[in-house]
Structure 1
Amino acid sequence: MESSIEATVGSEIDDRGHWPTKQSKILDWLMHDVREQRFIDNILVELCEKMRAVGISVARSTMHFRTLHPQWLGARILWRTGMKEGDIATFSYGVEKTPQFLASPINEIFNGAIEVRQNLEVSDKNQLSYPLYKEMHAEGLTDYIAWPIYHTLGKRHIVTFASDAPGGFTERDITFLKDLLPALTMVTEIRLKNIMARTLLRTYVGPHASEQILAGATTRGSGATVGAAILICDLRDFTTISDMWPRDDVIELLNGYFDAMVEPIEKHGGEILKFMGDGLLAIFPLSDPNACHNLLVSISEAQAAVAALNEENRKHGREVLRYGVGVHVGDVMYGNIGSRTRLDFTVIGPAVNIASRLESLTKQVKRPVLLSKAFVEMASCQRDMESLGSFPLKGLGEPVDVFAFTAKEKLPENA
């Protein structure tokens, strides 16, 4: 005789639940066969093509995601019939307050709607409430539906579909599309989290270090010795500025300064390893034969950018920014350093110390950018730099021959 426990367990095993309403090869593909595909846009394109092939009248689809990015609030992926690649657009912070966003079905979903559907097959497009509906009506689309995609902890993203069939989506189409939502949730969440992890790491530790960490370089002491041109920069009189100016103005001033310094460095192949209060540490790996030249071009462009920034600061009655830069070249230890529970992916070594000492020396010699003889010789730029002689540097046994940067773009405030 079957026990009550066995009967209960048996009934639970036999209970198939409510999803999916109907099994399909497309749903099987979405659940089991996309694991090698990293990119959500490629999955969306292939999904829509598969649906068209079996008679689901999808002619347009979008996905909308909010991301943790320093510049972008989120992104939208768009597919239309015939497109072999998804169109990806990013949206800046503040877009959710614009008239275009507020007058859209996407705003309804973000504000809590669990479904938005609109018949587009109308005789007069003025009957349609949103500009997007009127655009789709003009394109010959007949039906539109949008649903939220729920990620962990209530994070709400969006998927939309539009039909080009007379009469719009059938009830069979809608049932099929609804069955996709749980699978799309799982497929998109893991990839979105991977994107966020990569974005956050790139934002906080730089592109090269982030790739090393994602590849598994997370053990304390792990790393490698690399040859690099090293640049250390420090903002002058920042304590005085911080005491004199309101907090928000100080932050805006500092961000403007870092934009001026960092953009040329990254454009020319340098990597910002860390911001140190009002300073920064960057390297140009010597694996690039043009590393030293690229560093010099970066300094020249950064000086021009800071000069332009200072002109703006003067117009608004703000403090003019002054800085010091030290440059050296040599081998550095590049890797994980820190405590058992808190690591920093950075560079250390005598070459870094020399660059730091040169930056400090700029205060004494009243020149904004100082370079070591070792760097100048490697860059073959002796003729373009001004020799200042030898200087003893703290922690070094022998004096170091020092050169001043003499690019055309100079800042008179630093003299």
Structure 2
Amino acid sequence: MDASEINAITDWLIDGARSAPMPSQMMAQACERMVAAGLPLWRVGVFIRTLHPEIFGRNFIWRQGAPEVEVGTVDFEIQETPEFKRSPLSLVFNRGLEVRGNPDNLADVERFPFLLDLRQEGATDYVAMPLRFLDDTVHAMTLTTKQPGGFSDAQVAALRALTKPLTRITEIITLRRTATTLLDTYVGNRAGERIMGGQIRRGHTDTMQAVIWLSDLRGFTALSDRLPAETVVEILNHYFDCQVASIRAHGGEVLKFMGDGLLAVFPIDEYIGDANHVCARVLEAARESRCSVDALAFPIGEAIERFRFGVALHVGNILYGNIGGGNRLDFTCIGPAVNLAARLEKIAGRMGRTVVASEGFVRACGADWNELGEFPIAGFSTAQRVYGLADEAPVVMA
């Protein structure tokens, strides 16, 4: 084992592992450098808890000779599985302990059954080490070797020493990813990218052409009045699921949930001039959402609650950016086009329609529409033509 090479790896990590800008690249290079320094690694795993509404953690697995680092995720249910409860990672995460296991030792295999799988692959030693972040949360790294007799004491000591700078750079990478994830979760992907890129001052705005999607749940006020608040929240979550997946799959970004309302935008590339293509995808998302909401059945006691929603579609220029007061800002969109979409959504409700659109959207979309009439719109000098899908009949709400 070359002490100078170990020191060089430490310096490289402390300097930010600049030759490896991606997490998987950093891990691959770190492992390859450790092997070159005389540490007999066969398999290395790094397991990081995440701050994500659906994902408990991410894992990065390096294997000697593999073409790339394997990256995966696990959900929150893993904590309740027998496999996790009987694994060294459970002790690392829950108690911050370093755990070592010998695949050839019967007592170790009985305590940690997964060591039998490692023995069948030729492993001779396994160490799980805690990676403790500055906020005292514990993450983990596992190190496995095929060296006869396992790791030497000096090799384990060197690995322990390397976990310190490795923990710091892993924490930095994790914090940046967490910030990105939180922004994506709460303000949307495109808005999150702009905020991370430094667009954080009030008044930082851009003008862009986009399709605007404004929807709400029909009869929500009455629903809220007769059902417990917890049930209403659960219904809303299922209801929004019916739309968000389709919106994102067709190139849209959800900007805001407003009670039972949803505001989304589908940017149009002004240089490509793809308004027709974007509008067609938006209409497809609206049709999919309509089917999903129609199929939504929520049991309440012995009854089954069914739902309807309405969505207004309009295309126009919007002002997109930071608006607010003091140091409390909201990344949203405003403008006459948004106001028109909001008015169209109200008209959809009055007419018992699910999907309505402006004249501008219909011209760009080219699907089969029926004109529903001209309507005076507050704030607009002329009446606006409103259209409904030809394959949709109005429904009178009870």
Which band: TM-score by shorter chain? over 0.9
Matched, 1:49 2:11: no
Write the distance in 1 (CA, Å) between the matches of 2:389 and 2:206.
30
- The one-letter code matched in structure 1 to 2:291 is A
Instruction: In structure 1, list runs of 5 or more residues that go unmatched.
Output: 1-19
1:348 maps to which residue?
334
**Shift in Å at residue 377 of structure 1?**
0.8
Write the distance in 1 (CA, Å) between the matches of 2:330 and 2:230.
28
- The one-letter code matched in structure 2 to 1:83 is A
Moved more, 350-359 or 219-228: 219-228
1:403 to 387, 394, 398: 387
**Shift in Å at residue 28 of structure 1?**
2.0
1:240 to 207, 222, 225: 222
1:380 maps to which residue?
366
1:86 maps to which residue?
69
1:256 to 238, 256, 259: 238
**Shift in Å at residue 375 of structure 1?**
1.1
Q: Deviations over 1:200-255 (max 9, x none)?
A: 00011111111111111111111111111111001122222223223332222111
Partner-residue secondary structure (3-state), 2:161: helix
Write the distance in 1 (CA, Å) between the matches of 2:381 and 2:323.
26
TM alignment of 1:2-401, pairs within 5 A: 24-32=7-15, 34-35=17-18, 37-122=20-105, 127-287=109-269, 288-289=274-275, 290-310=277-297, 313=299, 317-381=303-367, 384-401=368-385
CA contact (8 A) 2:374 2:383 kept: yes
Moved more, 32-41 or 189-198: 32-41
CA contact (8 A) 2:352 2:394 kept: no
Q: Deviations over 1:358-378 (max 9, x none)?
A: 000112212122111111012
CA contact (8 A) 1:109 1:116 kept: yes
**Shift in Å at residue 29 of structure 1?**
2.0
Distance 1:292 1:139, change over 3 A: same
CA contact (8 A) 2:290 2:309 kept: no
Moved more, 317-326 or 254-263: 317-326
**Shift in Å at residue 84 of structure 1?**
2.9
Write the distance in 2 (CA, Å) between the matches of 1:414 and 1:191.
52
Write the distance in 1 (CA, Å) between the matches of 2:343 and 2:51.
37
Q: Deviations over 1:117-172 (max 9, x none)?
A: 011234x6994422321111111100011111111221110111011100000112
Instruction: In structure 2, list runs of 5 or more residues that go unmatched.
Output: none
- The one-letter code matched in structure 2 to 1:148 is P
User: What is the number of residues matched between the two proteins?
Assistant: 391
Partner-residue secondary structure (3-state), 1:71: coil
CA contact (8 A) 2:57 2:75 kept: yes
CA contact (8 A) 1:303 1:411 kept: no
Moved more, 237-246 or 56-65: 237-246
CA contact (8 A) 2:189 2:253 kept: yes
**Shift in Å at residue 406 of structure 1?**
3.5
Partner-residue secondary structure (3-state), 2:116: helix
Write the distance in 2 (CA, Å) between the matches of 1:185 and 1:69.
20
Q: Deviations over 1:345-390 (max 9, x none)?
A: 1110000000000000112212122111111012223xx0111111
CA contact (8 A) 2:28 2:68 kept: yes
CA contact (8 A) 1:322 1:414 kept: no
Write the distance in 1 (CA, Å) between the matches of 2:394 and 2:242.
13
Moved more, 20-29 or 96-105: 20-29
Distance 1:413 1:160, change over 3 A: farther
Distance 1:371 1:113, change over 3 A: closer
CA contact (8 A) 1:261 1:302 kept: yes
Indicate the percent of aligned positions where both proteins have the same amino acid: 39
Write the distance in 2 (CA, Å) between the matches of 1:29 and 1:107.
30
Give the TM-score normalised by structure 2: 0.92
Give the TM-score normalised by structure 1: 0.89
Distance 1:262 1:413, change over 3 A: farther
1:6 maps to which residue?
none
